[in-house]
Chains A and B, each alone.
Chain A
Amino acid sequence: MNTVDASVVSMPRAQAAWKRLLLSEYLVLVLTVVYFLAMWTIVPEIATLDTQLDILSAMMPLLVVAIGQTFVLIVAGIDLSAPSIIAMASVVGASVLTGDGGYASGTGFEIAAGILAFIAVGCAIGTFNGICTTRFNMPSFIVTLTTMMFFSGAAIWYTTVHTDASSIGNLPRAFVAIGQDRVFGLPISLAVVLAVAGTAHFVLSRTVYGRWLYAVGLNPRAAAVSGIPVRRVIFWAFVISGMCAAIASILYTGRLETGTPVLGQRILLDVVGAAVIGGVSLFGGKGKILWTIFGVLFLTVIDKSLQLLGLPIASVFAIKGSIILSAAIIDAVRHRLLVRA
């Protein structure tokens, strides 16, 4: 503790400790730990090493998408197209990679070509989103909603052009390894995600572009008057988000050994939810990679615990809803404290 304000000191110690916890940026992590311990008594399997590793690998793709989303949320936008980017990249990438007549199959550089295809799809859709939002001043909600619809459909169409089946399989083993294999007991995907998270954290906290992102989110007019290229800043946020979704698509596709046009269709709420639970503001200007990581961890632990419980679906939704609601209430209380402090 390097700063202690007077009101905290004057309170009884226990109360002060509670307040300190509530105001801490580690609050979501603490809540996760508390929840985890409570669940431990009900499903002890949650504490096994295998489950821990499962949680870790389940987190990874979601986290990459959420990191991309964080960039867009910081400039007060939203990227609803992430799921369709995942799906589109998955089928395009798989069509390049697949042993069943893939474009790059048998060339010897199919892995590189495939990964390039994934990233290219992500960047292309992100670029489109960015251009529409910045050049035509359209709200990102509308732009990305329409790209989501368009590319969800396009992914299915693309699949039907390439195969009679509903998905593209037979992907090379070396590619599948990215999503599935472990090195020294840790998922390879972890290394990918750590690299992405580390870079994102560095960009946000240390670079000019990072500071510009926050400035544009906090007050775009003041940013423009201060000579910041507001449109360019927003544009790149969407490209980054698209690229992150494409990286997530690589992990998902590798894990399932299949390029499918319905990949990730349901993760949007988890992505935005995780970022917001972590503390990223939907109104822009506020967000950290660490917060997003905590948010994703929180949701993944809840999901995994509910999966382990194996309850009928109605109760699963009720439980998940009430947990997220309590987290939101705690956050509201914390916000009130922060405003007063």
Chain B
Amino acid sequence: MKLTRRDFTVGALIAAGTAGMPVFVKAQGTKTVALLFDSLVSPFWVSGIEIMRAKAKEYGWETLENISDFDDNKQFEHVKAMIGRKVDGILIIQTDSKAVIPAIRAANEANIPMVHFNRPPAESDAYSVAIQADNRKIMADTVEFLVSEAKKLGGKYKACLLIGDLGDVNAIQRRDGFFDVVDKNTDIIEVVARISTEWNADKAFAGLTNALQANPDINFLVTSSDFMHPQIEQVLQTAGKWHKRGEPGHVLFGGFDGDEGAYARLKDGYLDACGVQNLFLEVDMAFQAFKDMWDGKKPAKLLLDPGFVITQDNLAAKQEEMWGYVVWKKQNGG
């Protein structure tokens, strides 16, 4: 029993006949922006997309979303689909800085502005704008605060740094920011442990445990990302070194990112300072870049978010700007 070719042709003709139906017409003058994420696995990205949706609504823009689930090829398909939808701008968070280049070229060809959020692409002849936190400076400022605290308290310090994945530019920049400051203060700080975590919480746990066994007197700790806080807390607690500020045995502790866990530990007095990526500002900068490109301007390929350091001193004044605080407030029924 087969469908013959003739049946098929008839079907196709009928289909073609019904195809001239009225379709949804896009409201005139409205801008549409595509938000292409590679995942929503951490609070940073979830907060990011929520802020973007809200901001776009405020501007009266429409948003389209696609999540590639770390699949570079799928994300390329997403970009092409968005070009097909003739969107006015594409905001992308790619997985691989090289594999995204064909997507940038495709956007260039279609004359659609493209903005990379938080992760810049690899060098290429294609044009796009990347918004990135000024990791090195933010980290340096954070460590600067810790050093000033150390000086206030007096004594010598043994320091430990949790480093990210060295394949990631962000991780390298944060490491460099740390040493920019520490190298100038070798009189009171000696770095006894550098733990390569490869952005893996389990490795962070194991590495820190080993470091504390080798140097039980570590009293100055900086992490390249806040998502490792729970592991750090656990290891320090086991070693009997988890104490609030002002209590004897407190480890000077600096973080980076500014997530809700970091806020909670700041508030409770365990964390001394945290370098915050200014997510709100970064979204503003990304959207401003779209506006500039629509106006025919050509912003620089890399725009830096200066970020800020939130410390025990400025917590009350700055917390509203900290994205982690917003998440925390929501989670705690604020």
Residues of A within 8 A of B (CB): 1-3, 5, 8, 20-21, 23-26, 30, 33, 37, 40-48, 50-51, 54, 58, 61, 164-169, 180, 252, 255-258, 260, 262-267, 303-304, 307-313, 316, 341
Complex interface bits, B252-286 against A, C-beta within 8 A gives 1, otherwise 0: 00000000000000000000000000000000000
Closest to A165 in B: B167
Closest Cβ of chain A to B290, distance in Å, is: 16
Closest to A47 in B: B19
B contacts with A, residue count (CB < 8 A): 47
List 15 other contacts, CB 8 Å, given A1-B2, A257-B99: A25-B3, A37-B19, A41-B21, A41-B23, A47-B19, A51-B81, A54-B77, A165-B98, A166-B167, A256-B96, A258-B99, A260-B99, A262-B70, A310-B66, A311-B65
- Which of B82-90, B138-146, B180-188 is near enough to bind chain A? B82-90
Closest Cβ of chain A to B116, distance in Å, is: 16
Chain B neighbourhood of A44, CB < 8 A: 23-24
Assess the A37–B18 pair: CB atoms within 8 A: yes
Partner of A304, one of B71, B77, B122, B166: B77
16 contacts across the A-B interface (CB closer than 8 A): A8-B1, A33-B12, A164-B167, A166-B97, A166-B167, A169-B122, A255-B102, A256-B72, A256-B96, A258-B96, A265-B70, A304-B77, A307-B66, A310-B82, A313-B40, A316-B67
Closest to A52 in B: B84
Assess the B67–A313 pair: CB atoms within 8 A: yes
Assess the A40–B77 pair: CB atoms within 8 A: no
A37-B19, A169-B122, A258-B96 known; A252-B167 Cβ under 8 A: no
Assess the A264–B23 pair: CB atoms within 8 A: no
A58-B77, A166-B167, A265-B71 known; A42-B102 Cβ under 8 A: no
Partner of B85, one of A1, A26, A43, A169: A43
Partner of A307, one of B40, B81, B95, B98: B81
A26-B8, A30-B11 known; A266-B65 Cβ under 8 A: no
Closest to A341 in B: B1
A40-B19, A50-B84 known; A180-B99 Cβ under 8 A: no
Chain B neighbourhood of A260, CB < 8 A: 72, 96, 98-99
A24-B2, A169-B122, A266-B70 known; A164-B84 Cβ under 8 A: no
Closest to B87 in A: A310
Query: Roughly how many angstroms separate A310 CA and B35 CA in the complex, as a whole number?
Result: 9
Assess the B65–A313 pair: CB atoms within 8 A: yes
Partner of A169, one of B1, B63, B98: B98
A20-B3, A41-B21 known; A180-B102 Cβ under 8 A: yes
Chain B neighbourhood of A256, CB < 8 A: 72-73, 76, 96, 98-99, 102
A164-B167, A255-B76, A312-B65 known; A48-B99 Cβ under 8 A: no
Closest to A317 in B: B67
Asked if B78 CB lies within 8 Å of chain A CBs, one says yes
Assess the B73–A307 pair: CB atoms within 8 A: no
Closest to A62 in B: B73
Query: Roughly how many angstroms separate A276 CA and B173 CA in the complex, as a whole number?
Result: 48
Query: Roughly how many angstroms separate A21 CA and B11 CA in the complex, as a whole number?
Result: 11
Asked if B80 CB lies within 8 Å of chain A CBs, one says yes
Closest Cβ of chain A to B266, distance in Å, is: 31
Task: Give the one of A23, A166, A252 with max B CB within 10 A.
Answer: A166
Partner of B77, one of A8, A43, A303: A303
In order of increasing CB-CB distance, the 4 nearest A-B pairs are A310-B64, A307-B81, A169-B98, A24-B3
Closest Cβ of chain A to B22, distance in Å, is: 8
Chain B neighbourhood of A43, CB < 8 A: 85
Complex interface bits, B1-42 against A, C-beta within 8 A gives 1, otherwise 0: 111100010011001001101011000000000100000100
Asked if B69 CB lies within 8 Å of chain A CBs, one says yes
Query: Roughly how many angstroms separate A50 CA and B12 CA in the complex, as a whole number?
Result: 20
Asked if B151 CB lies within 8 Å of chain A CBs, one says no
